[in-house]
A and B are shown apart, each in its own frame.
Chain A
């Protein structure tokens, strides 16, 4: 019993950390541009595949592969924004349709190239260590600490740096930000880069712990939705806190009921939040 609780505690924290990276990026771009980016999960999966190709097939140094994967995915985010989102940004139905179509397109191409089974990407660490009587794989511990570090960096970036403050300003009122002379379009692109790279880091951590498969381009979106709704749409800090709550819900569900119930429990979670507290924990009124 103690064993089970410990496992839920540790595994939940790890998955919470990974989802915090994915969801905060999703929240960031929604907050600044009211853009619902359904292609967000694509960046999550793509970074894992890019890293896999670089490290396994091309024999690139592991650390460099990780960095290249993150940067490439961030750049892809900017390209996707420029080509697909910016032209239809005023048409919110189309933003959703285009980004969803892109996500499904990439999923389909990955399926054709790699098949539907998962690929585990190589990690810096191997083996496992004992915490409180439970054997924990070292990859999970690494994932946890990396995600915490990235979250702290993100908090620093948004609240302390000039660019971060400008992003917050645009989130609050983009027209006013434009009036005081901010280059809103450029800030959108920076945000998109950060958002996609965050998803990319999340994907790399996820890929080395659980393995990456194309289905996660869409599946990871569900977790991100649940998190941002619980945290409040557009609130980055809310998403981070909500990620750990959702991480524990997912882990408990998977350990006690089995992974096939994960999506169903997520839906129930989303619906109950919408019934009892639609603005989420830290939501801003639309």
Chain B
């Protein structure tokens, strides 16, 4: 029964997503399109954290690496006059190639960080990835000639994903469907089972012959790859790149979406990502500056929600509500469960 609900809601979501641009104002179409790209980030975070059990607090860095890779490939003139001058001669590839390159470069950095930190058990991975965002943002400022510092830079209107919001919307939607589908197939394959074995008991996984380091690194590389793809798409969606797009608030949104949806469920984070991103950018926007006395803004509200959800329902709202439903003395639900 639970499975049926899941497929039904996915089906509804699919139909709603495909028809949405026909009756929604342009600005909202743009926002929902961004939400799809955000969902890729949440689901890819879930691969390493929810499925493999390694806490990655630097996911936005890999989103950012993908973004700056494609942006610099498209605008190689940024390198002119810097110590990387030779790179400015590279001809820029078509945007789809450079988006994939964004994913590849992200995956490469993921591989390096992963090989160093994931061969150690315990908390080293979480500690190192927690440091990454601050270093990444700092480096963007240090080399502001190349990266454009605080303002970032524009890749130019002609390098957008599509000419209008509706075109962008559909491209973002299909990128999301494709990415999520690939990640779904990975976690359903034998590789995915190995990820979960490592998450549940690393020692046991090792003793049944799973090369835990290899699979942890693989999981991180896959996660970083899709983070990079999402970041690169965002650049061509918004036509600009800048550090504010990959700062700590984004990390908070990713964590919150995945935690509310339920870690390690893949579908939960999709729903979570959808709700949280829209909530933050659509409804909460109006609450900023609500009061001069109480120190509150949209971020404060989201942090409080995250803490409350993480304490009360650490498995996610979806699993939590299912548990409550199972406890209810309703006959037909119990009956449905047994079938």
Asked whether A and B interact, the reply is: yes
Q: Does A84 contact B (CB under 8 A)?
A: yes
Residues of A within 8 A of B130 (CB): 38, 100, 221-222, 225
The answer to whether B77 has its CB under 8 Å from any CB of chain A is no
- B117 within 8 Å of A (CB atoms): yes
Given contacts A97-B259, A97-B306, A260-B142, contact A274 B120 (CB under 8 A): yes
B287 interfacial by beta-carbon distance below 8 Å: no
In the bound assembly, the distance between CA atoms of A38 and B127 in angstroms comes to: 9
**Contact status A222-B116, CB under 8 Å:** no
Q: Which residues of A contact B55 (CB under 8 A)?
A: 92-93, 96-97
If A271-B116, A275-B116 touch, whether A36 touches B303 (CB-CB below 8 Å) is no
Asked if B100 is at the interface (CB within 8 A of a chain A CB), the reply is: no
- Residues of chain B within 8 A (CB-CB) of A83 are 311
Q: Does A87 sit at the interface, judged by CB under 8 A?
A: yes
User: Which A residues lie within 8 Å of B255 (CB)?
Assistant: 97, 101
CB interface residues, B 98-128, toward A, < 8 Å: 116-117, 120-124, 126-128
Say yes or no for B49: interface residue by CB 8 A criterion.
Answer: yes
How many chain A residues touch B (CB < 8 A): the figure is 41
Report B-chain residues with C-beta under 8 Å of the C-beta of A270.
127-128, 131
Q: Whole-angstrom distance from the CB of A166 to the nearest CB of chain B?
A: 24
Q: Is the beta-carbon distance between A112 and B138 smaller than 8 angstroms?
A: no
Q: Are A84 and B311 in contact (CB under 8 A)?
A: yes
B residues 116-174 touching A (CB-CB < 8 Å): 116-117, 120-124, 126-128, 130-132, 134-135, 138-139, 141-142
Q: How far is the CA of A88 from the CA of B306 in the complex (A)?
A: 13
Q: Enumerate chain A residues within 8 angstroms of B128, measured Cβ to Cβ.
A: 225, 267, 270-271, 274
Sample 23 A-B pairs with CB under 8 A, ordered by A number.
Answer: A36-B126, A84-B311, A93-B53, A93-B55, A97-B306, A100-B130, A101-B303, A102-B303, A104-B299, A105-B307, A108-B303, A113-B295, A225-B131, A229-B124, A233-B122, A233-B123, A263-B135, A264-B139, A266-B135, A267-B131, A271-B116, A274-B116, A274-B120
Q: Report which B residues bind A (CB closer than 8 A).
A: 49, 53, 55, 57, 116-117, 120-124, 126-128, 130-132, 134-135, 138-139, 141-142, 248, 252, 255, 259, 263, 295-297, 299-300, 303-304, 306-307, 310-311, 314
List chain A positions with a Cβ less than 8 A from chain B.
Answer: 36, 38, 83-84, 87-88, 91-94, 96-98, 100-102, 104-105, 108-109, 112-113, 218-219, 221-222, 225, 229, 233, 260-261, 263-264, 266-267, 270-271, 274-275, 278, 286
